Amino acid sequence: MAELTVPTQQAVIQRMKGDFRSELGVDPMRRSVEYALIRAGGGQSKGLYALLQYVYKEAFPTTAKVNFWRWASVVDITQKPASAWQGTYRFTGVDGTSIPSGTELARADGTLYTTDADAEVGTDVSGQIDVAITASEGGVAGDCDDETPLVLSSPISGVDSAGAVQSTTVDGADVESVEDGLVRLLQRLREPPSGGVSGDYERWALEVAGVTRAWESSPGPGEVTVAFVRDDDGSGSAILPSAGERTEVEDYVQSKAPITVTVSVLTLTAENFQVEISDLTPDTLAVRTAIDESLADFFVREAEPGGTINLSRLREAISVATGETSHTLVWPTTDVTVAAAKMPIYTGLTVS
């Protein structure tokens, strides 16, 4: 689609000067009424050009930003809301002390969490109890690493005020971006739903908050296996889903699938790709950074479980990086095909 460009205000003024010149036979003089009209009209015309460009972009779902979700709603696609981080937190204290559901905890930056169920110190191990907690607000800002310290917002007699996160069950996810929504919309338009045939299971997985890429396969009659990653959770193996995130997707897709189909989610493990090149020309930090970003984008576009990293495509991803003139690819040296339960993960660039 051709881009509708907005001319600079100076270009608009020059055009208007030409129009006045053709009518008057002379250039408008500075501080004349005609010159003032040209300056004022140029500013208004520039604004109208900008409005026209905005309307032009919003008229197509592939370029719309403000009205994108209105376009998506035509085919019943709605923006995925933010989802909250879930994990476990270890309380310590006097055995038998009750900790009610909804007990509030705070992180050092003020982020709040609440317990998901009633608990009692010493139920499993004397002097402590691990309790499921959920961030009070959705989004990746509420994610916690293991051993992140939290403190009780209000003291509970018999319970230590300070403790630490033990594990993550489900990472949080921000509100779905327009870019991720466009992927779903284009898939919906190109592959209309068909009541549980090929393509539907991938689409359903992508409807779950945090899921950015998904794949499906059928190991046998009445069986569908789904695999997915969460690119917004971080880099490297952080994109691979946890057990809780796999369960969440499995339950959701199963609820959408025909009753004759059993859905399972594949447990993915990382197949790391540390790409190595030599003889880079020019060998500058800017060029290295551009290649690193191009490779990261390449793996997002083309890597998939059980797939093949094509050597020629990999070389192309390096060559199209801004500023790169030439290089020698040291590793990999051939096409690399990974096992069905392996996910190709880009872990960085080495320049020797």
- Annotated domain spans of the chain: 9-59, 86-170, 178-265, 269-351
Neighbouring CB atoms inside 10 A of 50's CB total: 11
Pick from 136, 153, 149, 120: which is nearest to 86 by CA?
A: 136
Structure tokens at 41: 């009209």
Taking the CA atoms of the chain, what radius of gyration do you get in angstroms? Answer: 28
Q: What is the DSSP letter of 268?
A: -
Structure tokens at 232: 């917004």
Pick from 307, 324, 305, 304: which is nearest to 316 by CA?
A: 324
Pick from 321, 318, 322, 326: which is nearest to 279 by CA?
A: 326
Cis bond upstream, residue 332 (ω within 30): yes
CATH number of 178-265, picked from 2.60.120, 3.30.110, 3.40.800, 3.30.300: 3.30.300
Q: Return the pLDDT at 32.
A: 78
pLDDT (tens, 9 = 90+) of the chain, 352 residues, equals 566 777 887 888 888 878 777 777 777 777 777 778 877 887 788 788 888 889 999 999 999 999 999 999 999 999 999 999 999 999 999 999 999 999 999 999 999 999 999 999 999 899 999 999 999 999 999 999 999 999 999 999 999 999 999 999 999 999 999 999 999 999 999 888 878 888 999 999 999 999 999 999 999 899 999 999 999 998 899 999 999 999 999 999 999 999 999 999 999 999 999 999 999 999 999 999 999 999 999 999 999 999 999 999 999 999 999 999 999 999 999 999 999 999 999 999 999 9
Q: With beta carbons less than 8 A apart as the criterion, state whether 202 and 212 touch.
A: no
| DSSP strand pairing (162-170 vs 86-92) | antiparallel
pTM above 0.85, yes or no: no
Helix (H) or strand (E) holding 230: none
Query: Is it true that domain 86-170 has CATH number 2.30.30?
Result: no
Pick from 307, 347, 350: which is nearest to 329 by CA?
A: 350
Cis bond upstream, residue 81 (ω within 30): no
